[in-house]
Structure 1
Amino acid sequence: MTNIAPTLAPSHLSDPVADEDDLLARFAPVFERIAAGNTERERHRKFPFEEVDELNRAGFGRIRIPVELGGFGASLEQTFVLLARLGAADANVAHVWRNHLAFVEDRLNAAPSEGNARWIARFLDGEFVGGGWTEANNGTFANIATTVRRVGDAYRVTGAKYYATGSLYADWLDVIGKDDDGSLYTALVRRDDPGVELVDDWTGFGQQTTASGSATYTDVPADPDDVFPASERFVYQGHFYQTAILAVLTGITQAALRDGITALRERGRNYPQGLDPVPARDAQVLQVIGEVSAQVFAAESALRTVARSLDAVAAAQAAGDLTARGRAVTDAQVATDHAQLVIIEAALTATTTVFDALGASGVSTDRLLDRHWRNARTLASHNPRVYKARIIGDWLVNGTDPVPDLGLFGRGGQGN
């Protein structure tokens, strides 16, 4: 009997064809305009509705969609490098895109269908996806309270979420909940549907304009084509979400270096202990900037490495090779854990160390350099790094599988 290797269902994924320099040139002017208003938005907690809209009109939401379907055909590496550049311009605006980009990736992984074709068309039309899956009061997927129930020809969504990042900017909200049998489903509901209530009650000291507050859903309708078993969401979804945060953290590290250099050049006097009366010529101060630049180098390198590991998973998925995808998922998990250790350390170190080059003037509220540390510390708390080194060590020494038990997202033998 001939053994037939298991294969995966077809998808919309295809080989990336975009040129990174062309992508950067396209979006650089938008990033520059966003950066120009960053401190004022931060100072007054002004939500960047116009900025998110401008990015959408420029096509940022469709960079991963294949060219033949109307997108730019970018790789995941290119996507996250661009997201880091946006993070350097404004970490809040960059984080807003996390849920949208992840859902685009999910639909690219899904099998072609009429319903999925409608989603691709929505992305091309600039429709934006926000939402959040987390529930307050220590809710987990095991005890999730939100429901997604079939009622007649449609579904109804009822529940409450927190950390609903990007929801205030969205046309659609991505919600996870259980049906009557306890199975998990994700439902996409319209932002302006009756029964949807969004509240800006985010109390974090960083990432203050990401609209990461509460979302309440009361008997909100969802079309069957917009409801998906959670087990069928794309297999590297968790890695994607984490890499998106790491991209923003990399951007924050870049911004700390950029703003540190500017502040040092503008610094007018030095301390008596200094090696030169001009701070910008003080070798010891210049060393600080050099050390911060090394943190940027480490973050950028780690980000590219983890993004390439996700490209390998996507390539295996596109090829329909289940065996190769399994190996690639493990490699991606290790890369994601390593990158968390490297990038979080780089971001927190750079956003603190840079002040050693600036003196007392560096803490001026005119510059708002503290926003970089506050934003970095907030993002770094999403998925605590304290566990990552242990997991990698256990894998290296004992061969313990580093991938969490996420059968929920199609890991293992499921051919999604």
Structure 2
Amino acid sequence: MSQNDRKLHREAALTAGRPAPHIPPRRTKANVIKDDAEAIAVAKELARDFAAGAAARDRERRLPIAEIERFSQAGLWAITVPKEYGGAGVSAVTLAEVTAIISAADSSIGQIPQNHFYMVEALRLAGSEEQKKHYFQRILDGDRLGNAFTEIGTKTPVDYKTNFRAEGGKLLLNGQKFYSTGSLFAHIIVAVAKNWDGRVHIVFIDRSTPGVDFIDDWTSFGQRSTGSGTVTFDDVEITPFQVVDHDIVFEKPTGMGPFAQIIHSAVQVGIARGALAETVSYVRAYSRPFFELTIEHGYEDPHTIHAVGDVSIRVHAADALLARAGRLLDIATADPNEKTVAEASIAVAEVKALGTEAAQLASTKLIELGGARSTLESYGLDRYWRNARTHSLHDPVRWKYHHIGNYYLNGLLPPRHGAL
């Protein structure tokens, strides 16, 4: 796409969307979380507050700017920074649980840091020592990374036209991204781009860099407040220090793929938990009995009791698979090889498949058991299904079953990429 084409698209997107919010430079240093237990405790505290405004934010498509600031300032966005660089270096089990806790309260907020954590892990695996010291410290201080990964109009979601080239003694980045979850809230944009020989890299770019532009044009019916809209790069000047090879992390066995996916899986498990908890709360408070019955309360209906029992089993099974996947990913991270990485990838695929189905079932039963009153806009209960359905489209669950089956039946290792 030429610079003129990007300009025309930006003008059209601005007409359909909104200008990006102003995100000022960070003014204070974030809390530094010390260990896994503190991370879980802080997540639970934040989740209670985030849940209170979730329905209104979804209804109004209001970006959670204050909530994201509190989220990162609490130190949770730095929990995967390795201990040797001053971070907590929490386990994958803990990262997944933190994500699920926040997502149960508000799945848009739970999804927003996914690519931040992904890029922190990419930096850990492929960055130079100088890059790690610099960017890990900024993350510990509270700077947030934003995603500029996927593009519209390419053959597949992992084809990229965004590129950087040497011109006049400078490196210039050009391109346009969509589905840029987190970038509207970020201090540093991390763009996925090809260099002159077609190799894929990630490029760390300060938000205020000339030539970077943001548009809030995300109009999906679900995950409404993730801010997953457009980012454009027009002759953005970069330096070699800002560039990290991305292809290298998949050319050998690493935990990069399952690491990316366990966070998405945790979002789905969180939605399932939230929908189940909402079902119990709503049915206990408002559900009326079927008129053919002689019971006093809707929660005494045997079919309702059975349905809640069925959903509970599936959600608890997804919880168990999420913890298991985290343990296997921790093993693969400590000792990455063909066997450990494949085991982690399959375990994460299993929880993504079951968690996605549990989230959609739980969110559907919430409305079914709640009755007609539960569809009122004032309750906002439909957001659970809309969010589960929208987020599930990040990568198709049908392919999870394919790779899982091939692994157990035919001994075929899953491919190494960020979507498995």
Q: TM-score scaled to structure 1, two decimals?
A: 0.86
Measure, in 2, the Cα distance between the counterparts of 1:173 and 1:139.
Answer: 24
Equivalent residue number for residue 340 of structure 1: 352
Give the conservation status (yes or no) of the 8 Å contact 1:155–1:221: yes
Give the conservation status (yes or no) of the 8 Å contact 2:39–2:76: no
Equivalent residue number for residue 153 of structure 2: 137
Deviation for aligned residue 1:222: 2.0
Q: 331-340 or 75-84: which moved more?
A: 331-340
1:148 is matched by which residue type in structure 2?
F
Pick from 268, 276, 281 the counterpart of residue 295 of structure 2: 276
Pick from 359, 364, 387 the counterpart of residue 371 of structure 2: 359
2:110 is matched by which residue type in structure 1?
A
Instruction: Name the SS for the 1:276 alignment partner.
Output: coil
Equivalent residue number for residue 219 of structure 1: 235
Deviation for aligned residue 1:255: 0.7
Measure, in 2, the Cα distance between the counterparts of 1:61 and 1:275.
Answer: 52
Equivalent residue number for residue 254 of structure 1: 273
Report whether the alignment pairs 1:54 with 2:66.
no
Q: 258-267 or 373-382: which moved more?
A: 258-267
Q: 116-125 or 222-231: which moved more?
A: 222-231
Measure, in 1, the Cα distance between the counterparts of 2:130 and 2:359.
Answer: 43
Measure, in 2, the Cα distance between the counterparts of 1:400 and 1:374.
Answer: 34
Measure, in 2, the Cα distance between the counterparts of 1:290 and 1:142.
Answer: 40
Structure 1 segment 223-372 matched on structure 2, within 5 A: 223-233=239-249, 235-267=254-286, 269-274=288-293, 276-316=295-335, 324-372=336-384
Equivalent residue number for residue 9 of structure 2: none
Cα distance 1:146–1:19, how it changes in 2: closer, same or farther (>3 A)? closer
Cα distance 1:65–1:144, how it changes in 2: closer, same or farther (>3 A)? closer
Measure, in 1, the Cα distance between the counterparts of 2:99 and 2:169.
Answer: 39
2:364 is matched by which residue type in structure 1?
T
1:356 is matched by which residue type in structure 2?
E
Equivalent residue number for residue 40 of structure 1: 56
Equivalent residue number for residue 412 of structure 1: none
Measure, in 2, the Cα distance between the counterparts of 1:142 and 1:82.
Answer: 28
Pick from 182, 190, 201 the counterpart of residue 198 of structure 2: 182
Unaligned stretches of 5+ residues in structure 1: 1-15, 317-323, 410-416
Deviation for aligned residue 1:212: 0.7
Equivalent residue number for residue 7 of structure 1: none
Measure, in 2, the Cα distance between the counterparts of 1:143 and 1:99.
Answer: 18
Give the conservation status (yes or no) of the 8 Å contact 1:176–1:186: yes
Give the conservation status (yes or no) of the 8 Å contact 1:154–1:224: no
Q: 121-130 or 275-284: which moved more?
A: 275-284
Instruction: Name the SS for the 1:402 alignment partner.
Output: coil
Report whether the alignment pairs 1:18 with 2:30.
no
Deviation for aligned residue 1:116: 1.6
Deviation for aligned residue 1:140: 4.0
Cα distance 1:172–1:17, how it changes in 2: closer, same or farther (>3 A)? closer
Measure, in 2, the Cα distance between the counterparts of 1:66 and 1:138.
Answer: 35
Pick from 100, 104, 109 the counterpart of residue 84 of structure 1: 100
Measure, in 1, the Cα distance between the counterparts of 2:157 and 2:297.
Answer: 57
The alignment of Structure 1 onto Structure 2 pairs a total of residues equal to 383
Q: TM-score scaled to structure 2, two decimals?
A: 0.85
Q: Deviations over 1:128-170 (max 9, x none)?
A: 0012311111344875211122346653210011111111000
1:335 is matched by which residue type in structure 2?
A
Q: 277-286 or 294-303: which moved more?
A: 277-286
1:369 is matched by which residue type in structure 2?
L
Measure, in 1, the Cα distance between the counterparts of 2:386 and 2:287.
Answer: 27
Structure 1 vs Structure 2 CA RMSD: 2.2
Instruction: Name the SS for the 2:337 alignment partner.
Output: helix
Deviation for aligned residue 1:27: 2.8
Measure, in 2, the Cα distance between the counterparts of 1:400 and 1:196.
Answer: 43
Give the conservation status (yes or no) of the 8 Å contact 1:285–1:356: no
2:181 is matched by which residue type in structure 1?
T
Measure, in 1, the Cα distance between the counterparts of 2:258 and 2:123.
Answer: 16
Measure, in 2, the Cα distance between the counterparts of 1:166 and 1:361.
Answer: 34
Cα distance 1:141–1:238, how it changes in 2: closer, same or farther (>3 A)? same
Report whether the alignment pairs 1:113 with 2:129.
yes
Q: Deviations over 1:276-306 (max 9, x none)?
A: 1211233332222222211210221121122
Pick from 373, 376, 379 the counterpart of residue 391 of structure 2: 379
Unaligned stretches of 5+ residues in structure 2: 1-32
2:144 is matched by which residue type in structure 1?
F
Q: Deviations over 1:229-273 (max 9, x none)?
A: 222347332322221111111111111011111111211632212
Measure, in 2, the Cα distance between the counterparts of 1:135 and 1:76.
Answer: 28
Give the conservation status (yes or no) of the 8 Å contact 1:64–1:71: yes
Measure, in 1, the Cα distance between the counterparts of 2:288 and 2:147.
Answer: 48
Give the conservation status (yes or no) of the 8 Å contact 2:77–2:117: yes
Give the conservation status (yes or no) of the 8 Å contact 2:126–2:246: no
1:133 is matched by which residue type in structure 2?
F
2:389 is matched by which residue type in structure 1?
R
Deviation for aligned residue 1:328: 1.1
Measure, in 1, the Cα distance between the counterparts of 2:145 and 2:373.
Answer: 41
Measure, in 1, the Cα distance between the counterparts of 2:178 and 2:337.
Answer: 32
Equivalent residue number for residue 99 of structure 1: 115
Equivalent residue number for residue 176 of structure 2: 160
Cα distance 1:401–1:170, how it changes in 2: closer, same or farther (>3 A)? same
Deviation for aligned residue 1:223: 2.6
